[in-house]
């Protein structure tokens, strides 16, 4: 089988289509034939700079769906031929994967292979942000960074589904239409910091209840200045830069959160339940995954280059 690997960290040119022995599922593992892998900014960060668990040489990718082809010893509840999906398994840019059965959830009828392959990382992140990080209720006002991107579009839809209002931020004029189609009530075209005054105008001087900020260090301060007293700054963009601050720098007694999706699905029961919530939203039509780029798995480097260009919207997929 083949997989995408890097021997050193760097740009997309470090990614190699590499022939490897077929994996063999060990105890508690399942052999899965890849159907689709999602491309995430986490993958770009792992390739470019590494981090815990991502020392080169390494495979890339964390998210995908596929078909069970073989069960390892001790696996119950799955059968060959089952459609399964996962939100985090390092090395997912591969034709075959040996995945712990506990990391897999069954894909329900009514959810396509492509949607399932690129849904759970961003879908569970958006679910986490709008429930446990800041529970959106009718009348809440949320600022959503990169509102035309993969997470941003899902966040916008979930905020609206829970009765909230969305002020979307996008970097280019052509992305404003995408954010509006996702349900944003207002869309601001803004690159970098300095948007807080406009947010306050749109909220009658009060400020937003929550800012969902995957924009990185450059927008960190403006996000905080956009919040009402005791509002929540949900910063989930560590691969885009980690700012430094002192607690006394926080304005308006705001609450700063660094939400990690693994905490949303810390147990098997939570993974099944939360994934089910996301799948149900898709089947009900309240959550639409917009797939805008499909690439051969062997051409993953081009997908990374396109994602880093900031010219893409929606979800990018790798197909074997």
Query: 279 in a domain, yes or no?
Result: no
> Does residue 38 belong to any structural domain of this protein?
yes
CA 110 to chain centre: 21
Both 51 and 168 in a single domain? no
In a domain, 280, yes or no: no
- Partners of residue 292 on adjacent β-strands: none
Residue 276 lies in a domain: no
Residues 124-144 have pLDDT tens digits of 999 999 999 999 999 999 999
State the DSSP code for 77.
S
269 is a domain residue:
no
pTM value?
A: 0.93
Contact 142/202 with Cβ under 8 angstroms?
no
Mean pLDDT within 69-75? 98
Is-contact 318 192, C-beta < 8 A? Answer: no
Tally the domains of the chain: 2
pLDDT at residue 239 in the model: 59
Same domain, 48 and 134: no
Residue 185 and residue 253 share a domain = yes
The Cα 14–Cα 37 span in angstroms is 19
Q: Are residues 237 and 176 in the same domain?
A: yes
pLDDT at 77 over 80: yes
**Boundaries of domain holding 235:** 122-262
Q: Is 32 within 8 Å of 70 (Cβ atoms)?
A: no
Task: Check if the beta carbon of residue 221 is closer than 8 Å to that of residue 158.
Answer: no
Q: Are 9 and 89 contained in the same domain?
A: yes
Q: Is residue 314 part of a domain?
A: yes
pLDDT value at residue 243:
77
- 250 to each of 165, 197, 221, 257, 259, how far by Cα in Å? 24, 17, 9, 12, 18
Considering Cα of 318, then 156, then 214, then 235, what sign does the dihedral take? negative
Identify whether residues 49 and 36 lie together within a single domain: yes
Both 153 and 207 in one domain: the answer is: yes
What average pLDDT is seen over the chain? 95
pLDDT on residue 102: 97
Sheet holding 255-257, edge to edge: 186-189, 165-170, 141-144, 208-213, 227-235, 255-257
200 plus 77 within the same structural domain: no
Q: Say which DSSP state 174 is in.
A: H
The CB density around residue 49, as the number of other CB atoms within 10 Å, is: 11
Phi, psi values for residue 54, rounded to 5°: -125, 35
244-270 pLDDT, tens digit per residue, is: 888 999 999 999 999 999 999 999 999
Q: What is the CATH number of the domain that holds 146?
A: 3.40.50.720
- 158 and 106, same domain (yes or no): no
pLDDT band at 240 (very low <50, low <70, confident <90, very high): low
Which strand (E) or helix (H) includes residue 116? helix 113-117
CATH number of the domain to which 64 belongs: 3.90.180.10
Pick 192 or 212 by higher pLDDT.
212
Confidence of residue 150 (pLDDT cuts 50, 70, 90): confident
Give CA separation, 255 vs 111, 209, 224, 234, 248, in Å. 36, 10, 9, 8, 12
Are both 60 and 149 inside the same structural domain? no
Rounded to the nearest 10 degrees, what angle do helices 173-182 and 150-161 cross at?
40
């Amino acid at each position: 089988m083949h997989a995408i690997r890097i021997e050193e960290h760097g740009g997309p040119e470090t990614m190699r289509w590499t022939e490897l022995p077929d994996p063999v599922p060990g105890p508690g593992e399942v052999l899965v034939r890849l159907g689709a892998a999602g491309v995430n900014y986490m993958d770009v960060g792992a390739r470019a700079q590494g981090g815990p668990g991502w020392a080169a040489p390494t495979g890339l990718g964390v998210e995908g769906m596929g078909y069970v082809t073989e069960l390892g010893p001790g696996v119950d509840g799955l059968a060959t031929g089952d459609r399964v999906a996962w939100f985090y398994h390092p090395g997912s840019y591969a034709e075959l994967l040996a995945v712990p059965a506990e990391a897999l959830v069954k894909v329900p009828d009514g959810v396509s292979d492509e949607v399932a392959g690129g849904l759970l990382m961003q879908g569970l992140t958006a679910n986490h942000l709008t429930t446990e990080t800041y529970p959106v209720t009718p009348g809440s006002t949320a600022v959503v960074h990169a509102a035309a991107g993969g997470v941003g579009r899902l966040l916008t839809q979930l905020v609206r589904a829970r009765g909230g209002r969305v002020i979307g931020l996008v970097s280019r004029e052509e992305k404003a239409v995408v954010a509006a189609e996702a349900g944003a009530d207002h869309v601001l075209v803004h690159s970098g910091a300095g948007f807080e005054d406009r947010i306050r105008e749109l909220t009658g001087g009060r400020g937003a209840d929550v800012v969902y900020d995957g924009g990185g260090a450059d927008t960190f301060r403006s996000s905080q200045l956009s919040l009402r007293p005791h509002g929540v700054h949900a910063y989930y963009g560590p691969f885009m830069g980690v700012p430094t601050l002192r607690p006394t720098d926080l304005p308006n007694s705001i609450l700063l959160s660094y939400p990690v999706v693994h905490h949303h699905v810390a147990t098997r029961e939570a993974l099944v339940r939360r994934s089910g919530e996301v799948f149900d939203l898709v089947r009900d039509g309240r959550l639409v995954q917009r797939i805008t780029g499909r690439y051969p798995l062997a051409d993953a480097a081009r997908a990374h280059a396109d994602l880093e260009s900031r010219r893409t919207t929606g979800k990018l997929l790798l197909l074997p």
